[in-house]
Structure 1
Amino acid sequence: MLEVKDLTLKYGQSQILNGINLSAKKGEITAVMGTNGVGKTSLLKAIAGRHPFASGAISLDGQVLGKHSAVNAARAGIAYVPQGREVFPMMTVTENLETGFACLEGRAHGVPDHIYDLFPVLRDMSARRGGDLSGGQQQQLAIARALITKPSVLLLDEPTEGIQPNIIKHIGEVIQKLRDQGEIAIVLVEQFFDFAFELGDRFVTMDRGTVTLDDVSANVGREQLLELVSV
């Protein structure tokens, strides 16, 4: 289980996160929601080691993560799919996937078959350059590359942004399948309300760097949630 306790984060003199507490269990999707600029992406970057936090602690399966960096977070089992995907445009699909081996000990060669089972288009386009893929195909590649690292936590930042509806549906099905396998805790930051509402097992809403709601989906009504993320 991922646990974030009393996390604060600053950009220069501006405090972005104010004592955030969050937990995400394996076999569940924790949907983090709120309007633009409330700190959702900053929270994911802090968890992923992309931005140093000022105070607080991040632990995984009861173990506090020490010197927190992107490399150490990945080695600990935290995979991050950033907004914008960050696919290497001049590398092939296969080469992009193989970059995920970098944080694994005893690196294995070859992309596991289950990756292509989740995203068949990547097998068909394995020799194509990442920059030549559509936005939806790049998003599938970015998620697949994260899964190559064999994570116990998967952080997804706006996975539906700029994606055509049929691929949004497919990505939703993949996220559900990963959840149902029970081996990964999934933290989903998403502006597409219906997508997040349908997938979320737990909802965390944020406003101005603080948590305004943290509850299981059974206790959260659609209208209540919509009101919290629309102000």
Structure 2
Amino acid sequence: MLEAKGVTLRYGGSQILHGIDLTAARGHVTCVMGLNGMGKTSLLKALAGRHPMEGVVTLDGVALPDGARARAQAGIAYVPQGREVFPQLTVAENLETGFACLPRDQREVKQEIFDLFPVLHEMRGRRGGDLSGGQQQQLAIARALVTQPKVLLLDEPTEGIQPNIIAQIGTVIAGLRKRGDMAIILVEQRFDFAWGLADRIVALRRGEVLRDEARAGASREAVLADVSV
């Protein structure tokens, strides 16, 4: 389980996150929802070590070090909004950038990656910049999985993606949850997509937690109202 307590984030003189508490259990999808500008992406960046933050983040009871590289080595994988694939590198080379946080004897792209995303096997020699938006999104998720994460952070994985790829990404997330060996935190604007995958719903408003509850006990209408206003 990943547990964050008192996560506070400031940009210059502006406070973006206000003491957020959040837990993400292994084998579950925790969906963080809310309107644009409410702190969702900032929260994921803080958890991934991309921004200095106040508060404590632990994984299985052990406090995580600061910094993106250290957290990646600890098992936190981040798929950023906008994908951030390397356009001049091939698909295979993009995947291999995930080796950076792994011990040398674990640096391999397992067949499972290509089983999840067959198109990447077909296009492994093509440059990342030549892929469609949906293919780049699949590559970004696959690159994160190469790191063998314990926690997978996904920031708007359906943004700007065609419907058939959205469905494929949903199937992959559901399959990863079923495996039961990682916690998944999903930031998502598409309400139906998020609701269909979520085990737990966290709604943010102006950098604070407005709602945090199991989806099984939540009212769809109430959650939709919270994340739409």
Instruction: Give the TM-score band, short-chain normalised.
Output: over 0.9
- The SS at the match of 1:183 is coil
User: 5 Å matches for 1:1-231?
Assistant: 1-53=1-53, 55-66=54-65, 68-231=66-229
TM (normalized to structure 2)? 0.99
C-alpha separation in 1, matches of 2:93 and 2:74: 23
- The SS at the match of 1:143 is helix
Q: Percent identity?
A: 65
Offset of residue 164 of structure 1: 0.2
CA contact (8 A) 1:7 1:56 kept: yes
Q: Give the paired residue count.
A: 229
Change (3 A) 1:132 1:14: same
CA contact (8 A) 1:90 1:130 kept: yes
Q: 1:41 is matched by which residue type in structure 2?
A: T
C-alpha separation in 1, matches of 2:29 and 2:107: 30
Q: 1:45 is matched by which residue type in structure 2?
A: K
- Structure 2 stretches lacking a partner, 5+ long: none
Offset of residue 108 of structure 1: 3.8
C-alpha separation in 2, matches of 1:152 and 1:14: 32
Note the aligned Cα RMSD (angstroms): 0.7
TM (normalized to structure 1)? 0.98
C-alpha separation in 2, matches of 1:193 and 1:110: 35
Q: 1:220 is matched by which residue type in structure 2?
A: A
Q: 1:176 is matched by which residue type in structure 2?
A: A
Describe the superposition over 1:156-200 as per-residue Cα deviations: whole angstroms up to 9, x where unpaired: 000000000000000000000000000010000000111001000
Q: Which runs of 4+ in 1 moved over 4 A?
A: none
C-alpha separation in 2, matches of 1:142 and 1:107: 23
